[in-house]
Each structure stands twice: as structure tokens, then as C-alpha cells.
């Protein structure tokens, strides 16, 4: 939605003081078991996008020859867990422990599709993996966790792909009742869960489900499920933050017009859940949220809202196309906000990268806001369409700890984690930036990182452009410099790449990209050379060509998993 129309709505709300009060009363969380309507019929919308045409389907390859043998093939390395979005708290997207999949093996005739897992809804979140887990019956499995927009959770054996258990968490929300068909036909579990493992047979899956048990009765609940059984280990918690505003009035979570799109995050300081909006509905009455829950009790322990003054109620959602909040080495939490009011003196935090304290109870610790924020707001150029990634500190680094972030503007910013740079003329607070707008359009996704034999590399791919890598200078003059380019243009929104390698060992790095469109495609590149894909194949379908298939692959233990519409497609080696 454009800034002009949002501001017209704000003007009406200010002219009619009762508007804010009545809307807050209607769009409110309910008691957990209530069937009372708390929503209203909405005009059905889909967020516009500065999108390229989706790619055409590739010739169908089908299953790899000897796929059955491939499913029995043991992994050659030490199996790992993938418990969180993009592998680590910094969200690098780098699996450093892959021994079997290299540019040579992925580019051979021995690599391809092994099977397809059928599920009951769209898979928008990243699959997760727990290796060597002891189930309640005493058997040991590598357990693959998949969640769907139909509110189902699946546990598969990650060797045979037999279903270990399946749980459903309640009726999903109708996309038409929500009034936003970015995801269609339903909203259920959208944010990637996070898993906390306690031992060989002890692990808890934390996730957020959106339910509609009766027409226009909307709930959003936090669950903690036993990995061995799929059962709730504590009573689910209704997501229902509320906060008084400095200028008077109250801001509440709106369960019809807001959702948990970002992946969940976990640290020793708690469980973090970020909240965005559906199609910018009710923009003058909602705020973005970052919430901190106690993992043991699911009690709300801390909260941060992005809009502080009532006359500036304008979104500032935290959605990041599914990217998770990043957790810094001291426990601070980093997020990016979207379209919304920017007034630093009044704590209105639209269009910004934010550094927040672990308990979310103190002031913002640091921020970066582009000098172009007014243009971003007026033209729906969310900074928050992308996530923020924390770069690992490398040996000999004299530059400060760094981060990168990019949104719809297609400008890749290199930032100082400890001093994000604030709001300055010419974006002088950033350490460096690369403007990619000449090559394509914006990014609905995020970057990835590889600690290559030649040094750190950052990968990004914007709408309609090829995959690009940038070397990271870590000395006295931090900078990003283009290192290599691919050849295959991205579909709508760009991509969310991940990287696999055997540490920094030469000739082991592979970049994995999901190409978006009505037909989803998996592409693989040599992580150093890029150039032509070393592998490309169809990997399922989406519900519609422009349906925001903002998904990321997950690679682990010699297998690659690609989410899709009612499927997860599995790739690997035949022998």
C-alpha cells in the first residue's frame, strides 16, 4: 500500500478520535477457547510487488535413476542438527559441515531428485532436522520436521521418509477472511519453528499457529511440542501483546491483520517472535512487535513495539520475508522494519535496522535508517522486505563486527553491528553499500555467507537479476566488492540462498537457490565461480505464479529439501 493512502487513513483517524478506540476493541486477541468474532469482512488484497516475470518450467527430469538406492545411501560425514532458520543465530545460511555434496558431485549425473514428501498444505517455512534422536519407543531416527499452512506438523524419518507422527493444531485462517491472499488459500504455520534440544531423546519444537475456529474468530498461539510425540508439553499461549503509548492510548496485537511471518529465534535469553501485517490492513492502528517468551512456561517475558505515538500509527512491521531475527554474540537481537513512521526522537522505528537488548525492556541500542526513508514509505519500498545477517568475525579482522541488510531498494548495506550508523545524510553511517538497482528490482528475501578459502563472501539475488557474490574486506576500510556473478535471473522477489561446504576446504562450496514462480526450481552453483548453474531442476509448484513463494532450501547430511505447495522435494546422491 502506498504511503499516500496510509497517510489519508491516518488523517481520517485523527479527525475521528473514536476510530482508534473502536478498531482496537474489535481487532483484539480473544481468550484461548473463545469462538467470538473479533474480525470484520475485509476487501481481499494482494501486496503488489516490483516483480520480474516468473521463470518458465524446466524440462521435467523426474526421479533420479537409482533413487531408491539413494534413499538407502548413508551419509558419509557426521550428521548435524538444523534447529533454527539458516543454521545459526547470525542467519548466515552456511552449513559448514557438508562432506558429500560438492561442486563435483552435485554437477554429476549421480545427483538429483530422490523423492517428494506429500503434505496437506503450503510449506512456507524452512524444514528443520534433528539427527540421532531417540524416539519414545527406543528407536533412533534422524527426524525431519515440516510445518504447513494447514496448521499441520510432520515428523519424517530423514532416511526413508516414513512418517513418524503428524499433528494438527486447529483450523487454519481463511486467506479471504483475513483479506490478504499473499498466501492462498489459508494461513496456518508460516514462521519457521525453532527447536531446542536437551539430549538424545529430548527436544522441543516451538512454533506459532494462526487459527480460525469459527468464522471471523482469529487466534494466534505459541506452541511447545515434544519432538518425540508431537504433543504440547505446556498449555499453548495466546499471542496478545498490548502496550500503553507515550502520547496516550494503547496499541494491541491485531490477530486478523497481523501474523508471525519471520522465523522464530532462540537464545539463552528466551524465545523471540516477530510480528508483521497482512497486506497493510488497518495500518493506522497497529505496530510491529518483537516478543520474548519464557521457553519453559510460554509466559511473555518482554516486548518491543515499533510505533510509540498514536498519531503515527503506521505499521513498521517486522516481516523480513520469513528471515529470522539475528542474535548477536552478547544476546542482542537484530531486526529490520518495513513501511512506517520514522521519528527517532519519538521512538517511531519504521524503515530501520534495529539492535535491541536481549530482554527487550531497554531502549533501542542502535539503529540504521536510510536517508531515503520518506521515498521508501511513499512508494512502498520496505527496507523490512529483507532480513539482516551478522557476518562472522574472521581471524586477523580489524574492522568492527559487521552486518549486511537489503530490502526493496536493492541497496546492500554493510553496517557496524556495534554502531549501526543512525540516520545521516548520504547514508554516511553505513560502512559501505552496493546499489544493485541497475541490474534488477528489489529483494524479498535475504543474504547468505560463505567463509571460503579466499575469504568471506556474501551472496544476494534481487528480482530479475543473477546471483552475485561480494568479497568482504575486514581491515581498516571495510567494504563489499563484487567477486562473481551467476547467469540465471531470479523469479519474483529474488531469492533466499544458502551455502554448504566442508568448512573452508577448497572445492567443496555450493550455493543453493530456490527460483520462484508457478513452478519452483532448485539451482546449485559453485560457490566461488558462480557462472552457469551446476544443477537445475523443477522442485514442485506454487499455488499461483505471483503467490509469494518466498521459501528457502535447507541442505544437510547430503540431502537438499525444497518447500512447495503441498510438497517438500528431496534431492541427493544415488550412490
The domain that holds 301 is classified in CATH as 2.130.10.10
What are 64-73's pLDDT values in tens digits? 999 999 999 9
| Rounded (5°) CA angle 465-109-541 | 50
SS (H, E, C) 402-465: EEEECCCCCEEEEEECCECCECCHHHCCCCEEEECCCCCCCCCEECEEEEECCEEEEEECCCCC
Residue 51: predicted pLDDT: 63
* 489 within some domain: yes
* 551 within some domain: yes
Interstrand relation of 111-122 and 530-541 (parallel, antiparallel or unpaired): unpaired
Residue 545: predicted pLDDT: 62
Residue 24: predicted pLDDT: 32
- pLDDT exceeds cutoff 70 at 16: no
Q: What is the mean pLDDT of residues 290-314?
A: 91
Q: 132 or 18: which carries more pLDDT confidence?
A: 132
Residue 52 — very low, low, confident or very high, per pLDDT cuts 50/70/90?
Answer: low
* 350 within some domain: yes
**Whether the Cβ atoms of residue 494 and residue 442 lie closer than 8 Å to each other:** yes
3-state secondary structure of 454: coil
Q: 545 or 181: which carries more pLDDT confidence?
A: 181
* 448 within some domain: yes
Task: Report the number of distinct structural domains present in the chain.
Answer: 1
* 189 within some domain: yes
**Whether the Cβ atoms of residue 275 and residue 317 lie closer than 8 Å to each other:** yes
- pLDDT exceeds cutoff 50 at 13: no
Q: Which of 245-254, 265-274, 428-437, 518-527 has the lowest mean pLDDT?
A: 245-254
Cα 112 from Cα 451, distance rounded (Å): 26
* 397 within some domain: no
* 519 within some domain: yes
**Whether the Cβ atoms of residue 212 and residue 173 lie closer than 8 Å to each other:** yes
Residue 9: predicted pLDDT: 32
Provide the residue range defining the domain that includes 103: 3-391+404-573
3-state secondary structure of 27: coil
Q: What is the mean pLDDT of residues 441-465?
A: 96
- pLDDT exceeds cutoff 60 at 465: yes
* 396 within some domain: no
Length of the chain measured in residues? 575
CB neighbour list of residue 127: distance below 8 Å, 6 or more residues apart? 82, 144, 145, 146, 554, 561, 563, 568
* CA dist list (Å): 169 to 125, 166, 209, 220: 16, 10, 7, 11
Residue 27: predicted pLDDT: 84
* CA dist list (Å): 276 to 51, 259, 383, 466: 21, 6, 13, 29
- pLDDT exceeds cutoff 60 at 499: yes
Residue 49: predicted pLDDT: 61
Residue 19: predicted pLDDT: 34
Residue 312: predicted pLDDT: 66
Residue 497 — very low, low, confident or very high, per pLDDT cuts 50/70/90?
Answer: very high
Give 305's strand partners.
Answer: 289
- H/E element holding 472? strand 468-473
Residue 43 — very low, low, confident or very high, per pLDDT cuts 50/70/90?
Answer: confident
- pLDDT exceeds cutoff 80 at 521: yes
Q: What is the mean pLDDT of residues 16-45?
A: 72
Residue 313 — very low, low, confident or very high, per pLDDT cuts 50/70/90?
Answer: low
- pLDDT exceeds cutoff 80 at 8: no
Residue 418 burial class via C-beta count within 10 angstroms: exposed 0-12, middle 13-18, buried 19 and up: middle
Residue 284: predicted pLDDT: 83
What percentage of the chain has pLDDT greater than the value 90?
Answer: 85
Amino acid at each position: 500500500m502506498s504511503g499516500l493512502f496510509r497517510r489519508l487513513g491516518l488523517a481520517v483517524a485523527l479527525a475521528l478520535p473514536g476510530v482508534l478506540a473502536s478498531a482496537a476493541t474489535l481487532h483484539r486477541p480473544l481468550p484461548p477457547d473463545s469462538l467470538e468474532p473479533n474480525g470484520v469482512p475485509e476487501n481481499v488484497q494482494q501486496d503488489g510487488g516490483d516483480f520480474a516475470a516468473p521463470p518458465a518450467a524446466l524440462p521435467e527430469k523426474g526421479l533420479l535413476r537409482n533413487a531408491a538406492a539413494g534413499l538407502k545411501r548413508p551419509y558419509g560425514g557426521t550428521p548435524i542438527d538444523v534447529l533454527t532458520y539458516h543454521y545459526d543465530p547470525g542467519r548466515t545460511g552456511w552449513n559448514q559441515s557438508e562432506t558429500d555434496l560438492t561442486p563435483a558431485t552435485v554437477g554429476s549425473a549421480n545427483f538429483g531428485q530422490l523423492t517428494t514428501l506429500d503434505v496437506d498444505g503450503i510449506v512456507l517455512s524452512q524444514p528443520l532436522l534433528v539427527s540421532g534422536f531417540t524416539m519414545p519407543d527406543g528407536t533412533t531416527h534422524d527426524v525431519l520436521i515440516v510445518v504447513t499452512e494447514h496448521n499441520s506438523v510432520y515428523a519424517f524419518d530423514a532416511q526413508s521418509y516414513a512418517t513418524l507422527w503428524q499433528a494438527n493444531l486447529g483450523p487454519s485462517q481463511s486467506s479471504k477472511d483475513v483479506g490478504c491472499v499473499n498466501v492462498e488459500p489459508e494461513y496456518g504455520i508460516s514462521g519457521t519453528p525453532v527447536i531446542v534440544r536437551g539430549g538424545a531423546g529430548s527436544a522441543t519444537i516451538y512454533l506459532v499457529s494462526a487459527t480460525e475456529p469459527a468464522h471471523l474468530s482469529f487466534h494466534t498461539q505459541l506452541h511447545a511440542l515434544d519432538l518425540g510425540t508431537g504433543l504440547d508439553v505446556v498449555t499453548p499461549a495466546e499471542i496478545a501483546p498490548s502496550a500503553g503509548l507515550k502520547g496516550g492510548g494503547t496499541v494491541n496485537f491485531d490477530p486478523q491483520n497481523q501474523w508471525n511471518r519471520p522465523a522464530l529465534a532462540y537464545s539463552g535469553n528466551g524465545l523471540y517472535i516477530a510480528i508483521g501485517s497482512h497486506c497493510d490492513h488497518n495500518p493506522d492502528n497497529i505496530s510491529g512487535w518483537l516478543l520474548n517468551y519464557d521457553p519453559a512456561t510460554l509466559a511473555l517475558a518482554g516486548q518491543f513495539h515499533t510505533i510509540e505515538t498514536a498519531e503515527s500509527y503506521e505499521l513498521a512491521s517486522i516481516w523480513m520475508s520469513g528471515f529470522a531475527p539475528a542474535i548477536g554474540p552478547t544476546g542482542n537481537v537484530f531486526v529490520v522494519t518495513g513501511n512506517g513512521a520514522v521519528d527517532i526522537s519519538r521512538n517511531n522505528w519504521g524503515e530501520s535496522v534495529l539492535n535491541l537488548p536481549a530482554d527487550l525492556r531497554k531502549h533501542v541500542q542502535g539503529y540504521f535508517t536510510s536517508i531515503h526513508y520518506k521515498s521508501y514509505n511513499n512508494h512502498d519500498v520496505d527496507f523490512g522486505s529483507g532480513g539482516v545477517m551478522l557476518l562472522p568475525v574472521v581471524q586477523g579482522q580489524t574492522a568492527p563486527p559487521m552486518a549486511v541488510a537489503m530490502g526493496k531498494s536493492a541497496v546492500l548495506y554493510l553496517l557496524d553491528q556495534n554502531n549501526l550508523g543512525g540516520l545521516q545524510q548520504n547514508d554516511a553511517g553505513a560502512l559501505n553499500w552496493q546499489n544493485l538497482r541497475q541490474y534488477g528490482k528489489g529483494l524479498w528475501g535475504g543474504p547468505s555467507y560463505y567463509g571460503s578459502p579466499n575469504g568471506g563472501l556474501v551472496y544476494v539475488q534481487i528480482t530479475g537479476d543473477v546471483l552475485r557474490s561480494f568479497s568482504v574486506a575486514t581491515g581498516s576500510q571495510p567494504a563489499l566488492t563484487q567477486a562473481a556473478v551467476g547467469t540465471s535471473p531470479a523469479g519474483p522477489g529474488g531469492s533466499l540462498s544458502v551455502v554448504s561446504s566442508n568448512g573452508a576446504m577448497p572445492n567443496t562450496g555450493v550455493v543453493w537457490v530456490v527460483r520462484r514462480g508457478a513452478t519452483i526450481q532448485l539451482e546449485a552453483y559453485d560457490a566461488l565461480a558462480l557462472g552457469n548453474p551446476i544443477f537445475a531442476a523443477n522442485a514442485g509448484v506454487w499455488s499461483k505464479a505471483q503467490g509469494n513463494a518466498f521459501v528457502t532450501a535447507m541442505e544437510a547430511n547430503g540431502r537438499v529439501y525444497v518447500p512447495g505447495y503441498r510438497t517438500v522435494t528431496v534431492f541427493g546422491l544415488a550412490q
